[in-house]
Homo-oligomer: A and B are copies of this chain.
């Protein structure tokens, strides 16, 4: 039985809940330590049950840890889940309110034969996932390493006349040869004015000389994600672009130097936001400063101006201030940091910016 499961048991006991139905794939992957899709997991002291259909059962028989019983889905998964609650004699079963859809909730509820309460829960597993174990950190470091190598490699490929999508093509190829299973999200290659859209969709646009090319890339290494952004410049850099770049870079440094255990998370966001606002570009920094990363690209903690929680050692998140001048250009610089007992470690330290 792994520590995470024991911690869930303790949390359930404190909430007077005797089982937890988990539906978020990343949460299931975290607890079972296998790559999970299309599954449900019931965690309870009586029995931990992994529900999967016949597409997956052969692999699961081989890979599923013996702390979990494999239950094959034949017919309605909702009836199976409801019957299982009954069979185990559960009275109060938690579910993940942020991930279970209304229709599934209703279907399970309908199939319950006994008086069983379904209790909404929040972040029971996500809360554990905020604090990375050494084994998790190792995978995040490797994912980050591959991403750094990819960004170094692509620098020489980017040139006037290349399409954005061709740059993405080469990156997608490169990361797999370096051991990544896949990209963690659609790689963003945003050239010239396209860089002014924070979530640009990589297009067929040809890169021109004397313009910025923003690349936002992450990879999946054994389930763990990375996420880095750099802006490259071709030819001569406009003065305004250089000015903006330096503001974003300095804003990032202002945020990073505030990071240590015990600091309120909103202070980190505010440090970068204040710096940018003081230089007159506040309204062009239109997103949060960062996000936790691990089994998901975006997970807790959210590094936002509204987050009151405090930093704790072994949290890993992105710091990515940006300034976007509509229809002109955008600059975002994104690194990953680890909160250490003493302060902060920049995981993407050896990548130029």
Instruction: Give the interface of A toward B (CB within 8 A).
Output: 35, 37, 53-56, 58-59, 95, 97-103, 105-106, 120, 122, 165-166, 168-170, 172-177, 179, 181-182, 186, 196-202, 204, 286-287, 324, 326-327
Contact = CB atoms under 8 A, between A and B. Distances in A.
Contacts of A182: 186
Contacts of A37: 199
Given A98-B103, A101-B98, A181 B199 contact: no
B98 A197 contact: no
A105 B99 CA distance: 11
Contacts of A179: 165, 204
Contact of A176 (B54, B165, B198, B200): B165
A56 B186 CA distance: 16
Given A58-B324, A100-B102, A101-B100, A176 B181 contact: no
B326 A58 contact: yes
Contacts of A186: 181-182
Contacts of A287: 53-55
A126 B201 CA distance: 24
A106 B120 CA distance: 10
Contacts of A177: 165-166, 169
Closest 6 CB pairs of A and B: A169-B176, A54-B286, A97-B103, A173-B173, A172-B172, A55-B198
Contacts of A327: 58
A329 to B, nearest CB: 12
Contact of A95 (B100, B102, B202): B102
30 contacts: A35-B201, A37-B199, A53-B287, A55-B198, A55-B287, A56-B198, A56-B199, A58-B196, A58-B197, A58-B324, A59-B200, A95-B102, A97-B101, A98-B101, A98-B103, A99-B101, A100-B102, A101-B102, A103-B120, A165-B177, A168-B176, A169-B172, A169-B173, A169-B174, A170-B173, A172-B176, A173-B173, A181-B186, A181-B201, A181-B202
Contact of A106 (B58, B97, B106, B166): B97
A284 to B, nearest CB: 10
Nearest to A286: B54
Contacts of A173: 169-170, 172-173
A81 to B, nearest CB: 15
Contacts of A197: 58-59
Contacts of A202: 181
Nearest to A37: B199
Nearest to A61: B326
